[in-house]
């Protein structure tokens, strides 16, 4: 059903897009405590794991949805959830494409056998050489070798092994060497990410710039050419804005069942944007424990939100000449165009921060 939205005096009829991708946050908890992690700023830790009732409701809604792909991830470590294997089995039995994002430290031989036997489509392992991050290089190599050996022995093509690497200024040289080595251990693809600081001392570690072009992307491309498949973020603010969650017709189901548009609106917390602290607030459009997933997805509020994000109906806060004195930039609740909440200052929107 079309949703009416007014752009000035002009009425626009918005046709809701079909839901294609669902991110599921089974766990807000993690077995690691990386210095760069967003979790340190979260204000609500009351529900670290998705409870069993919500897991069952989530599976019912996801299996019956038109979504083709499910990414089991979030900001926590999904393999800490006692029901994660049940979730994978149910989703694969429903012929969904399943991706798992993990730090890899809980993948032993038994877990690796399960991933291969259940035909999990892709496993993303977060890895960095920096002490600010996972610093789990040797473990990632071992996991890659183990899963590669099992796939060869069982004559299986899945899971595809991918990695996510967050670059920092102090570890850039080491991270470049790390990414060159990953392909030797079965890693076929690397998602490079920028650091989103959560504390003032991390500001000096960012590699992206605010007001001028950066040639770092070219340098990375030349260094990594033909070594491993790589996806690069932007390293400066450009005119174009694109939300990967919206463009991919995605949503996130939080651990408490809330349906959120992206990772950034998943929790109350904070971030730092070009040295400026910004308060973040969770924002959902409903909860699967109270309404159906498709009712929430097709609701007028959520449909209009996605339309506004897709067509960049937000101020361009990051390069606005008033940004240094603008109180709207203290949090994400509203902006000077009347949007509530606002995506105008989002670095994910600028492709400086990426998500799998």
Spell out the residues 6+ positions from residue 306 whose beta carbon is closer than 8 angstroms to its own: 17, 246, 261
232: tokens are: 């690069």
Predicted TM-score (pTM) of this structure? 0.94
Give phi and psi for 124, each to the nearest 5. -95, 125
Is the pLDDT assigned to residue 179 strictly greater than 90?
no
Cis bond before residue 297 (omega within 30° of 0) = no
Residues 354 and 3: their CA atoms lie apart, in Å, by: 30
**DSSP H or E run through 341:** none
Look at residues 26, 25, 29, 22 and name the one whose alpha carbon lies nearest to residue 44: 29
Q: How many residues does the chain have?
A: 356
CATH code for residues 18-350 = 3.20.20.70
What is the pLDDT confidence band of residue 226, given thresholds at 50, 70 and 90? low
pLDDT tens track for 279-310: 999 999 999 999 999 999 999 999 999 999 99
DSSP string, 218-261: HHHHHHHTTTSEEE---SB--S----HHHHTTEEEE-TTSBEES
What ranges in the chain are assigned the alpha helix state H?
Answer: 52-63, 84-93, 109-117, 137-154, 172-182, 216-224, 244-247, 293-297, 300-310
* Helices and strands, counts by H and E, the chain: 9, 13
Is the pLDDT assigned to residue 237 strictly greater than 90?
no
pLDDT tens track for 23-80: 999 999 888 888 888 888 887 655 689 999 999 999 999 999 999 999 999 888 999 9
**Contact by Cβ (8 Å): 194, 314:** no
Place of tokens 């149910």: 90
Cis bond before residue 245 (omega within 30° of 0) = no
Give the start-to-end residue ranges of the domains of the chain.
18-350
Spell out the residues 6+ positions from residue 200 whose beta carbon is closer than 8 angstroms to its own: 272, 275, 277
Query: Percent of the chain at pLDDT above 90?
Result: 68
Look at residues 85, 87, 48 and name the one whose alpha carbon lies nearest to residue 256: 48
Residues 160 and 331: their CA atoms lie apart, in Å, by: 38
Is the pLDDT assigned to residue 217 strictly greater than 80?
no
Q: What is the model's pLDDT at position 45?
A: 57
Which residue did the predictor score with more confidence, 51 or 321? 51
Average pLDDT, the chain: 91
Query: Percent of the chain at pLDDT above 70?
Result: 97
pLDDT tens track for 112-153: 999 999 999 999 999 988 888 877 889 999 999 999 999 999
Is the pLDDT assigned to residue 169 strictly greater than 60?
yes
Give phi and psi for 30, each to the nearest 5. -150, 150
**DSSP H or E run through 162:** strand 160-167
**Contact by Cβ (8 Å): 82, 52:** no
Burial 127-155 (b: 16+ CB within 10 A, else e): bbbbebbbbbbebbbebbebbbebbeeee
Q: What is the model's pLDDT at position 197?
A: 92
């Amino acid at each position: 059903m079309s949703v009416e939205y007014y752009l000035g005096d002009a009425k626009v009829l918005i046709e809701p897009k079909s839901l294609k991708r669902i991110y599921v946050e089974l766990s807000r908890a993690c077995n690691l405590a990386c210095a760069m992690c967003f979790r340190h700023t979260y204000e609500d830790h009351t529900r670290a794991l998705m409870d069993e009732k919500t897991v069952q409701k989530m599976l019912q809604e996801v299996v019956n949805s038109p979504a083709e792909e499910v990414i089991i991830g979030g900001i926590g470590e999904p393999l800490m959830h006692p029901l994660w294997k049940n979730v994978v089995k149910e989703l694969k039995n429903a012929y969904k494409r399943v991706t798992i994002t993990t730090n890899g430290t809980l993948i032993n031989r038994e877990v690796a056998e399960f991933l291969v036997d259940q035909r999990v489509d892709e496993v993303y392992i977060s890895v960095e050489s920096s002490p600010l991050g996972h610093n789990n290089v040797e473990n990632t190599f071992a996991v890659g070798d183990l899963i590669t050996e099992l796939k060869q022995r069982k004559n299986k093509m899945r899971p595809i092994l991918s990695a996510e690497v967050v670059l920092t200024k102090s570890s850039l040289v080491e991270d470049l060497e790390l990414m060159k080595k990953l392909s030797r251990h079965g890693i076929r693809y690397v998602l490079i990410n920028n650091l989103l600081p959560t504390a003032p001392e991390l500001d000096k570690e960012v590699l992206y710039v605010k007001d001028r072009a950066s040639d770092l992307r070219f340098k990375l491309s030349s260094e990594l050419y033909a070594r491993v498949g790589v996806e690069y973020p932007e390293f400066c603010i450009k005119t174009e804005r694109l939300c990967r969650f919206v463009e991919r017709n995605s949503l996130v189901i939080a651990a408490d069942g809330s349906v959120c548009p992206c990772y950034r609106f998943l929790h109350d917390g904070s971030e730092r944007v070009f040295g400026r602290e910004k308060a973040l607030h969770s924002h959902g459009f409903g909860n699967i424990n109270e309404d159906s997933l498709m009712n929430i997805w097709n609701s007028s509020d959520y449909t209009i939100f996605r339309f506004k994000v897709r067509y960049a109906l937000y101020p361009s806060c990051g390069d606005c000449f008033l940004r240094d004195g603008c109180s709207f930039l203290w949090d994400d609740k509203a902006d000077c165009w009347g949007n509530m909440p606002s995506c105008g200052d989002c670095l994910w929107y600028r492709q400086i921060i990426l998500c799998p």
